[in-house]
């Protein structure tokens, strides 16, 4: 365990309030006891989905075309990501799990029990669930962009831990996080594992974490997983695996974009690129055309030359010191970090 110094300079950014909320129906007691009926409340307006399409078109028509990495996570994409986490080359998930398992009691002592555990990017909720016995949260709030996936995971968890109140929130956090008023504000513990913070630029990460800091209120804190800088060959392999699962994950974004935008990307025309860029301290993923292609959507098109790339993801890697400083810049204090022996991954805790 490492203690880092504190500095301050919190920044504030505005964020939109577009999310899907998964609420528990409490009108049928029997149903709640057995099937724990879930109700989806769609809070996304037509204007929001129009904004999503607008962002996609802006990205596809930009001089350096890009697609937001949130388009990886449709139902199939979430399952492909799940497969990635089991690949021999993809070390972050199992390294983080090992850190959490090894230090769970120390973490529980540092963090405290009976808190409102807010899981950002919960996915299959496995990581948080592994902490339940030690952290004994009063409430569990699972947030994820893939709503279908959350529903299934929470259904299982509620049966396993009937004593913990659970809420699912389907929302896109790439524009910031806005929690509904129903989430208690005292004792919030934000849990942001998996190094998903790496998808933001360091500047965006600082504003996102400042936002979280502001939503912590009394006795709040953040438990966050961060992937560390390491040898290029290890990072390259982790994002370009031998089985081609990461390639499928990256290419699947095109299918998702086709269904959201009504475009006509042919996955077979594209190939996956994933590599570490040491200058930028980030892994980059791109999709590269095998030949000159024209892609159409209602109201527009883009011509791509052979070999042209669409940037689909950045995954920033940090040193323990640099990330500790980023947390301080976001207004957090009492920064503590746990790492594995190879120093490949770090779990940080900081108070608001």
Question: Residues interacting with ligand AVJ, by CB under 6 A?
Answer: 84, 92, 194-196, 198-199, 239, 246, 313, 315
Least distance from C-beta 194 to ligand AVJ, angstroms? Answer: 5
CB of 317 to ligand AVJ, least distance (A): 9
Q: Which is nearer to ligand AVJ, 68 or 199 (CB)?
A: 199
Comparison of 59 and 220: residue with beta carbon closer to ligand AVJ: 59
Residue 114's contacts (CB-CB under 8 Å, 6 or more residues apart) are 136, 137, 138, 187
Enclosing H/E stretch for 53: helix 46-60
Paired tokens of 140: 């569990």
Q: Which helix (H) or strand (E) holds 167?
A: strand 165-171
Pick between residue 59 and residue 77 the one whose CB is nearest to ligand AVJ: 77
Do β-strands 165-171 and 139-144 pair in parallel, antiparallel, or remain unpaired? parallel
Nearest residue to the partner ligand AVJ, using Cβ: 315
Q: How far is the CB of 339 from ligand AVJ (least distance, A)?
A: 17
Smallest distance from ligand AVJ to CB 187, Å:
27
196 vs 263, which CB is nearer to ligand AVJ? Answer: 196
274 with 310: CB under 8 angstroms?
no
Task: For 94, list phi and psi in degrees, rounded to 5.
Answer: -75, -30
C-alpha to C-alpha distance for 261 and 50, rounded to whole angstroms: 10
Whichever of 116 and 245 has its CB closer to ligand AVJ, that residue is 245
Determine the Cα–Cα distance for residues 18 and 147; give it in Å rounded to an integer.
14
- The least CB distance from residue 96 to ligand AVJ, in Å, is 10
* 110 vs 80: CA distance, rounded Å: 34
């Amino acid at each position: 365990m490492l203690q880092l110094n504190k500095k301050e300079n919190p920044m504030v950014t505005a964020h939109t309030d577009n999310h899907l909320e998964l609420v528990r129906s409490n009108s049928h007691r029997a149903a709640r006891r057995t099937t724990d009926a879930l109700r989806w409340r769609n809070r996304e307006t037509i204007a929001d989905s129009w904004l999503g399409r607008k962002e996609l078109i802006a990205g596809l028509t930009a001089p350096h075309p890009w697609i937001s990495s949130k388009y990886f996570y449709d139902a199939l994409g979430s399952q492909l990501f799940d497969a990635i986490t089991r690949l021999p080359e993809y070390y972050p998930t199992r390294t983080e799990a090992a850190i959490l398992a090894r230090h769970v009691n120390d973490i529980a002592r540092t963090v405290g029990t009976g808190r409102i555990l807010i899981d950002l990017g919960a996915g299959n909720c496995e990581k948080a669930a592994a902490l339940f016995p030690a952290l004994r949260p009063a409430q569990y709030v699972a947030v994820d962009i893939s709503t279908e996936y959350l529903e299934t995971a929470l259904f299982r968890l509620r049966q396993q831990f009937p004593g913990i109140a659970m809420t699912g929130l389907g929302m896109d956090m790439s524009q910031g996080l806005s929690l509904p008023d129903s989430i208690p504000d005292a004792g919030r513990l934000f849990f942001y594992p998996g190094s998903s913070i790496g998808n933001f630029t360091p500047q965006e990460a600082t504003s996102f974490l400042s936002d979280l800091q502001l939503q912590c209120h009394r006795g709040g804190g953040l438990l966050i997983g961060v992937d560390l800088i390491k040898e290029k060959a290890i990072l390259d392999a982790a994002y370009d695996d031998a089985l081609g699962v990461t390639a499928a994950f990256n290419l699947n974004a095109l299918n998702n974009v086709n269904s959201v935008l009504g475009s006509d990307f042919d996955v077979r025309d594209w190939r996956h690129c994933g590599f570490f860029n040491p200058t930028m301290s980030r892994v980059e993923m791109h999709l590269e055309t095998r030949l000159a292609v024209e892609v159409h959507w209602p109201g527009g098109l883009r011509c791509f030359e052979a070999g042209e790339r669409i940037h689909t993801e950045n995954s920033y890697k940090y040193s323990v010191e640099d990330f500790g400083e980023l947390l301080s810049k976001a207004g957090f204090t009492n920064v503590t970090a746990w790492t594995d022996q190879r120093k490949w991954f770090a779990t940080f805790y900081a108070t608001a």
